[in-house]
Amino acid sequence: MYQYTCLNPIAGVGLDLFSDEYKKVDDLKDAQAALVRSAAMHDLDLPDDLLAVARAGAGVNNIPLDKCAEKGIVVFNTPGANANGVKELVFAGMLYASRDIVGGIDWCLANQSDENIAKTAEKQKKNFAGTEISGKKLGVIGLGAIGVLVANAAVHMGMDVYGYDPYISVNAAWNLSRSVKHISNVEDIYKECDIITIHVPLLDSTKKMINADAIAMMKPTAIVLNFARDLLVDEEAMVDALAAGKIKKYVSDFPNTTTVGAKGCIVTPHLGASTAESEDNCAIMAVREIRDYMENGNIVHSVNFPDCNMGACLTAGRIGILHKNVKGMISQYSTILGDADINVADMTNKGKGDYAYALIDVDSPVTEEVVNQLKAIDGVLRVRVIK
């Protein structure tokens, strides 16, 4: 029996995926697995029995990743689970920026008591006219979970799509429509595109990626969409460019005092993933990740340990060893197992930064004595007998 706790409300459609082997407990100190959304975990005491934390969402800055790693706690997140929710809002942003839908709605509200509003509207509507997105050039910067969905959907909307991502994953490349034109110099996107949307992670290398120089290359009719992170854009420069009429609109999902109310800015309150479906998808993915780790020892979508997947165990036993990513660990494991007359049937060892994970299938049961010997190796953080 495994025990888990939820540090925030987690969608029932996900929790329903726990089998009878799992029991929900109220207190973290009794749990082997924890599901979390935004609860701050930095100051929590992490119990020794806690094996896994799954964040139902992408960002993990509420979780002490290194502290967890040092205690042998694997932290998971759910990348891509909310990608469709964000994609759909990107198209809403594109339409809001292309046509003055907000101005039109405001006009209707301001004239709600006018009995002749229908007639007046026919005269006023030219003030809110805009352009269509079909046939326009869309530049997508970052072709990951969200960028690929945006690019593919834009192709179906009749847009001419340009994609830029020097680090695109094989998986994303497989999923990308063949109609998306590959751009190797991001400046071509700034210069050529009518609408530009950014979908990269916030890193030192991407901070203020869309800066004053980039904005200066854009067409005066350009629309920039930012549903990734506000710090990716030099928003002071953006607001200045909008005020000077050097570009048309900036749509952001990250309200702050620079952009809210500034001329040409359309700002939403971080609504990208705020859909019932996104929350369900995150919960489903988080529970699946926890189950695969608890039952099979597989790590998929961890942020503090490497991914490592050997499927279900078909041999007599399986052990998982979380350890420091230093040399000489594997030879020590095989010596201990060999001395105990335990044959290794299959094995994977993966490293990520300072930490590593070895998953070992063996042909005979692993004794407590062997486990204690493995635990005693300098650099070993946790040893689990999974089967």
Draw the binding track, 47-86, toward ligand NAD (x: CB under 6 A; -: no contact).
-----------x--------------------xx-xx--x
At CB < 8 A and 24+ separation, what contacts does 169-178 make? 169/144, 172/143, 172/144, 172/145, 172/147, 172/148, 173/143, 175/148, 176/143, 176/148, 176/151, 176/152, 177/151, 177/152
- b/e string for 11-25 if b means 16 or more Cβ within 10 A? beebbebbeeebeee
Binder to ligand NAD among 270, 307, 353, 354 (CB under 6 A)? 270
Select 189 or 362, whichever has its Cβ closest to ligand NAD: 189
User: Quick one: tokens of 314?
Assistant: 């078909």
Binder to ligand NAD among 18, 22, 76, 164 (CB under 6 A)? 164
d(CA 173, CA 179): 12
Of 23-31, 202-210, 290-298, 361-369, the window that binds ligand NAD (rule: CB under 6 A) is: 202-210
Compute φ and ψ for 379, nearest 5 degrees: 105, -10
303 binds ligand NAD (CB under 6 A): no
Of 4-12, 268-276, 339-347, 374-382, the window that binds ligand NAD (rule: CB under 6 A) is: 268-276
Select 4 or 254, whichever has its Cβ closest to ligand NAD: 254
286 binds ligand NAD (CB under 6 A): no
Please report, as a single letter, which amino acid is at residue 89: L
Of 92-100, 163-171, 174-182, 241-249, the window that binds ligand NAD (rule: CB under 6 A) is: 163-171
d(CA 97, CA 250): 8
Please check whether residue 89 is in contact with residue 226, taking contact to mean a CB–CB distance below 8 angstroms. Answer: no
143 binds ligand NAD (CB under 6 A): yes
174 binds ligand NAD (CB under 6 A): no
CA angle centred on 157, ends 156 and 163, rounded to 5°: 75
In whole angstroms, the minimum distance from the beta carbon of 55 to ligand NAD comes to: 12
d(CA 81, CA 35): 15
199 binds ligand NAD (CB under 6 A): yes
Select 37 or 382, whichever has its Cβ closest to ligand NAD: 37
Going by C-alpha positions, the residue among 232, 277, 218 that lies closest to residue 89 is 277
User: Quick one: tokens of 12?
Assistant: 């029932």
Select 86 or 266, whichever has its Cβ closest to ligand NAD: 86
Q: Which residues bind ligand NAD (CB under 6 A)?
A: 58, 79-80, 82-83, 86, 141-147, 164-169, 172, 199-202, 205-206, 227-229, 253, 270, 272-273
